[in-house]
Amino acid sequence: MPESLYRNKWHVFSISLCTLSAFLLLFIFRHTDDNRLTSWKWAFSHVELIQFIPLIIIGIFLIYVLLNSPITRQKPSTFLFFISFAISAIFWKVPEVIVDTSRYFTQAKHLEIYGIGHFISQWGKCINAWTDLPLVPLLYGLIFKLFGEARAFIQVFTSVIFSMTVVFTYLIGRTLWDEKTGFFAGALLWGIPYIFSQTPLMLVDVPAMFFVTLSIYTFIKALQKGGVWIVAASIAVFCTVFAKYSTWIMLSVLGVVFMVFLRQGQGARGKGQGVTPEAAPGFRNCIYRGMSVVLITGVLVSIVVYLKYEVIMDQMKFLREYQAPGLRRWGESFVSTFLFQIHPFITIAAAYSIYEAFKKKDLKFLIISWLVVLIVLLQIRRSRYVLVVFPMLTLMASYGLQRINKPEVRQYVVSCIVAVSLAVAMFAYLPFLQAISMVNLKKAGEFINSIDTEKVEVLTVQSIESAVNSAVAVPIIDLYTEKDIHYSYDSNSSLPLERIETSPLRFTWEYNNPVYYMHDNEEAGGNSAIVVVFNRDVKVLPGHIEEKIKGYNKVRTFDTATGLFRYSPVVAVYLPDKS
């Protein structure tokens, strides 16, 4: 045991006991976790509890030593970035577990093939935009264009985005308070196991979290210093606006930032609040800088809205009529999100921080608590949609932990939080996510890469049991393979309208087959492969598919399944019979 901990051995013992007790309680009551993806009742169904205890104990001391290393003290930003990237890279082996990936891949591939001009002009037209905004698919498309169409490049990008979120969380805490508050806030993002189920995915949630965090930091700096920070803040807010619709309401936090700094600029320099002259710009400077950001951002946003007015208005109407009511049906409990998917000590410390801030009359605390309060008041219960406020939650938790006077004890608490959460993410979530049926699409794509074939024709079979249109599996397979995909979508195969209208996966039934999958419907032959995708409940292939695969041998079937999800794709690969 390090000497600093030995001097506080009774604190260490009590904190360790609380850590293990909290984990055991969550494990015992894991059936109350109703998360739709990484519920503990699923993730721990084949995990031996006895394996976790030594992992947690070893992890606590390793992380404590790591947090106490010289580079941590000398270059905290560098430390946080590279450790965050390294941890997130461990999860690159997770398959695309959410079918929304098909939308973002399809939009990005349009840019890759036809160029940025086509993407901008056709987004919302031949490029089906659903309820998506264009920024993140545009970034993904540029990555494909510059580096090649490979999932690995997307995962490097999302890991960088996540790692920069950790760094900006640290910088916000350091700017508003001090080095330790910021550093532990950044490190506590590793204490949210759910976040690592999202970092490897080709979705918009992790980038949206990054852009919101970036907007808050750059806006604070714009109010403090002006100059180039005004431009940086304007660009950051512009990007946030077009990252995801749910970020619009999150940007209300900038109004809170402005009011807090305006109040400080009027002379509210409470003793003990950590307010420096630089952190509290003059009243006039605050007004000028804040309005400058609003004006520049407003001009940039107005240009895009003008060009895509009809598309955006239709999307907003659809969000009101379909998405908003649907969220009440598709939600998850706060118990799941704030106790299971987030380490409970983070939630407890964040709740306690409210008392500390109130006692100190610290107005700056409103900046980091605003978004968390919004989540609770608006009853936003889906973990993916709560993800965007995780940096503010860890800032609250770090603020609360500052009440612990002994730095080494405070550091030990953070080590316990991170050790448990990483153990859960790596040894429960990771194996579980690698075993669900969506991995079949990944394995099939990788297998197709390994065979010598000139053509890959994909056929899909629709299931009456599944609420997912099997056609959306085609872009996901395409993400994993380097081969050209041929696919003809039969739009006549559909579910009853009443089932589609209330389905959380309604977008799959609005699938538009991209032109780049359409080829002459020549007979299969020569050096070709046929890939058939169907749901697990389909026992007999339709006659037209049986006719299509005559003269072909089934060489591989990918049928991994957990039995937990109604959409459970199976992939069969056929090659010509050369006997």
What mean pLDDT value characterizes the chain? 91
Residue 371 and residue 253 in contact, taking contact as beta carbons nearer than 8 Å: yes
The model's confidence at residue 495, banded by pLDDT at 50, 70 and 90, is: low
DSSP secondary structure string for all residues of 88-150: HHGGGGS---STTHHHHHHHHHHHHHH-HHHHHHHBTTTB--TT--SHHHHHHHHHHHHH-S-
**For range 15-20, the mean pLDDT:** 95
Centre a 10 Å sphere on the Cβ of residue 169 and count the other Cβ atoms it contains: 31
Q: Closest by alpha carbon to 527, among 579, 450, 454? A: 454
Question: Is the dihedral angle over the CA atoms 241, 243, 244, 249 positive or is it negative?
Answer: negative
Q: What are phi and psi of 554, to 5 degrees?
A: -75, 120
How many CA atoms does the CB half-sphere of 380 hold within 13 Å?
18
Q: Is 68 helix (H, G, I), strand (E, B) or coil?
A: coil
Count CA atoms within 13 Å of residue 502 on its CB side: 5
pLDDT of residue 430: 97
Whether the predicted pLDDT of 267 surpasses 70: no
Instruction: Give tens-digit pLDDT for 166-213.
Output: 999 999 999 999 999 999 999 999 999 999 999 999 999 999 999 999
At residue 321, the pLDDT reads: 81
500: pLDDT strictly greater than 90: no
CA atoms within 13 A on the CB side of 445: 21
Q: Quote the pLDDT of residue 493.
A: 66
The DSSP result for 243-292, as a single string, is T-TTHHHHTTHHHHHHHHHHHHHTT---TTS---TTTS--HHHHHHHHHH
Find all residues with CB under 8 Å of 352, minimum gap 6, and list them. 400, 403
Q: Are 145 and 157 in contact (CB under 8 A)?
A: no
Helix (H) or strand (E) holding 219: helix 205-225
Mean pLDDT to the nearest integer, 533-542? 91
**Is the predicted pLDDT of residue 383 greater than 90, yes or no?**
yes
Range in 111-125, 273-287, 417-431, 501-515 with the lowest mean pLDDT: 273-287
pLDDT score of 465: 74
